[in-house]
Structure formats: C-alpha cells, structure tokens
Chains A and B, each alone.
Chain A
C-alpha cells in the first residue's frame, strides 16, 4: 500500500510570508501528527488530528496551525514566517486507536526561510 506522502519536498519562502504543507496518510489511517525537526531542538511535536479534529497540540505559537479533511489528508500552515521556522517538517500517519499501533512517517518537507 502507498506510504505517507508529503508535498512539496522543498520550499523557500521569505520572512513574513505564509506557507501551507500537505500530508496524505496511509489509506485507512485517520490520525495525522506533525513534527518540526531542527538541528538545535531535534524532533518536536506540533499537533495531531484525528477525524478532522485536533486532539493534541504541542508548545508552538499560534502562527502554526493545521487542519484535516474528511479524506484524512492534513495541511499545516505557518503564517508570518520567521527565520527560525526553517526546518524539516514531518508528518506521521497512524490508525489513531487507543493502543499504540505504530507511526509511519513521510519523507518530509524542507522549509527554508530567507
């Protein structure tokens, strides 16, 4: 079955702009989690969506937002970009069931803010 698809793979944006990243989970998976990875902070959890509802949120400013559609695809939006937002953004797909079943990650979107 197809894996987790993230688009685009690379993005270059200017400070102050906004950006939207997309994540299509594995077919049948209803949960999508988003992470930011930077050399200094490592992998940090942004938020998780399940059946179009945000169930969990990390410690990021309100400039970071997301949503999930009825087909479980998710988008993440960052407004008013700052240089520090440059990072690899990863999404993970899972069934979202109570018991930990496994998280499959996409290849990521590399965002560079200049």
Chain B
C-alpha cells in the first residue's frame, strides 16, 4: 500500500463549487506539503503544514493538518478554471538520515473545473 493516499483520484466540478482533497499518511507526519502541477510541468508550491491542527490559507485555498489522524485536507472555495490541475501532497519524515531532501508523494488528484 502507498505511504500517502490521496482521495479522490480525480474530481470534476462546476465553476463556483467548493471542493476538498484529502491526503492520508500511513506513517507519522513531520511536515506536509501541498503542490499543484500542470501536466508535464514543474510543481508549484502551495502550502506547508508542520503542526497538528495547523491551518493555512492562500487566496481561495485552505489546507489543514490533523496530526492525530495523520491526515491533511485541501479545500478550494468557489473554484475557478484556473484551479484546474494535479494536486499533490508530499510528506516529510523526521529530519536527518534517510529523510534528507526527500518528500514522499501521493499519487495526485486531477482536478477539472468546468466553466
């Protein structure tokens, strides 16, 4: 099984609708990253969460970290076509040793927003 499971795998919404993407880890989280990717391009950093209960927002995107549940959620309010893309969560493990420079990623959630 995957270390990081994202759900749903794909999502199609109408413009203006709210949506949530979940990321669940099978191991302890020491940092959780959210990235957005346009097909074939690099990853665009959205947010990083490090503390249980932490919540961050940027424009219409909010991310939360539930440390006990080893889960993070990404919520988009009033979606727009510009939000379309692949959303990836990446987990950082305890710093040092085999964790240096390494993020473990979920399989991604493909978001389509219809005008």
Indicate if A64 sits at the interface (CB-CB under 8 A). no
- B48 in the interface (beta carbon within 8 A): yes
Tell me if A24 counts as interface (CB < 8 A to partner B). no
Closest residue on chain B to residue A99 by CB atoms: B95
A interface, CB within 8 angstroms of B: 4, 6, 31-33, 42-43, 45, 47-50, 55-56, 58, 88, 90, 92, 94, 96, 98-100, 102-108, 110
Partner of B100 from A56, A92, A99, A105 at Cβ < 8 Å: A56
Known: A100-B48, A105-B35. A48 touches B100 (CB 8 A): yes
Interface size (B, Cβ < 8 Å)? 29
Q: Are A96 and B95 in contact (CB under 8 A)?
A: no
Question: Residues of B with Cβ closer than 8 Å to A?
Answer: 30-31, 33, 35, 40-45, 48, 50, 88, 90, 92, 95-108
CB atoms of B108 and A94 under 8 A apart = no
Name the distance in Å between B81's Cβ and chain A's nearest Cβ: 22
Asked whether A98 lies within 8 Å of B48 as measured between CB atoms, the reply is no
Q: What's the least CB distance linking A88 to chain B, in Å?
A: 6
A50 touches B101 (CB 8 A): yes
Check A102 against B48 for contact (C-beta < 8 Å): yes
A-B contact count (CB 8 A): 75
Tell me whether A92 and B101 are in contact (CB under 8 A). Answer: yes
Contact B42 A56 (CB under 8 A): no
From B48, B88, B95, B99, give the contact of A43 (CB < 8 A).
Answer: B88
**Identity of the chain B residue whose Cβ is nearest the Cβ of A93 in the assembled complex:** B101
Q: Is the CB of B95 within 8 A of A98?
A: yes
Contact (Cβ within 8 A) B105 A43: yes
Instruction: Report which of A96, A99, A107 forms a contact with B101, defined as CB distance below 8 A.
Output: A96
Shortest distance between the CB of A78 and any CB in chain B (Å)? 19
List of A residues within 8 angstroms of B99 by Cβ: 56
Return chain A residues, CB-CB under 8 Å to B100. Answer: 31, 48, 50, 55-56, 96
